[in-house]
Amino acid sequence: ILNVEQSPQSLHVQEGDSTNFTCSFPSSNFYALHWYRWETAKSPEALFVMTLNGDEKKKGRISATLNTKEGYSYLYIKGSQPEDSATYLCAPRTGNQFYFGTGTSLTVIP
Amino acid sequence: NAGVTQTPKFQVLKTGQSMTLQCAQDMNHNSMYWYRQDPGMGLRLIYYSASEGTTDKGEVPNGYNVSRLNKREFSLRLESAAPSQTSVYFCASSPYGGADTEAFFGQGTRLTVV
């Protein structure tokens, strides 16, 4: 079992605000770090997969960075929109297992 | 374009009853997983199957059994349901190989044990 921590647990922002969340994980035995987006009443969907220290990935207004040496990843959302409201999960993957954090619940207020 | 299909979507059981949750994927993935999701607990791994013919326990296997029937199907069985097994259950699959391959999730089964 891997100890994966995500912060904050929940976040309310105004439409147009930029925001970021953190995922912390043990830096040893690292293979890959996954971010998933989980909308209410749906199933989680993959956002990013990062494997290398210093990796940065971007998809539209959402981006992520990875620091494997210190064991953390940041997810950034620029100019939040109501459709960004969801829970964002991070999951380090070692071998065949994904170790999911409890997620950051984002609510974007119009 | 089915992806990962779970049945049923909803189920209510009485304590002590048994049932099997079905999961099938049509993406030719080798690895399949069963998770449960409880408030404040995130997704916890119950069992997984790295490839056809193998299964391994995850974080919370007690009270559950699994069967990897073939490459497509991975079922989860509750032999004697307990109220503590009230949860939302997700099946997922992933290609076998590099850790950079993502997981694909089914729509979930909401199970209530009364």
CA–CA distance from B45 to each of A69, A109, B4, B57, B88 (Å)? 26, 33, 17, 8, 12
Are B35 and B43 within 8 A, CB to CB?
yes
Are B76 and B6 within 8 A, CB to CB?
no
Which of A97, A104, A105 to substitute to test the interface with B, most B CBs within 10 Å? Answer: A97
Task: Report the share of chain B in percent with pLDDT over 70.
Answer: 98
* Pairing state between β B74-78 and B64-68: antiparallel
Q: How many CB atoms lie within 10 A of CB B106?
A: 24
Q: Pick B59's closest partner by Cβ from A1, A46, A95.
A: A1
Q: What is the mean pLDDT of residues B100-111?
A: 93
Q: What is the mean pLDDT of residues B67-87?
A: 96
The token duo for B30 is: 């080798």
Q: Does B25 touch chain A (CB under 8 A)?
A: no
State pLDDT tens for residues B27-38: 999 999 999 999
pLDDT of residue B2: 75
Q: What is the mean pLDDT of residues B90-108?
A: 88
Task: Report the share of chain A in percent with pLDDT over 90.
Answer: 78
State pLDDT tens for residues A55-97: 999 999 999 999 999 999 999 999 999 999 999 999 998 878 8
Q: What is the mean pLDDT of residues A23-46?
A: 90
Q: Are residues B40 and A1, on separate chains, in Cβ contact within 8 Å?
A: no
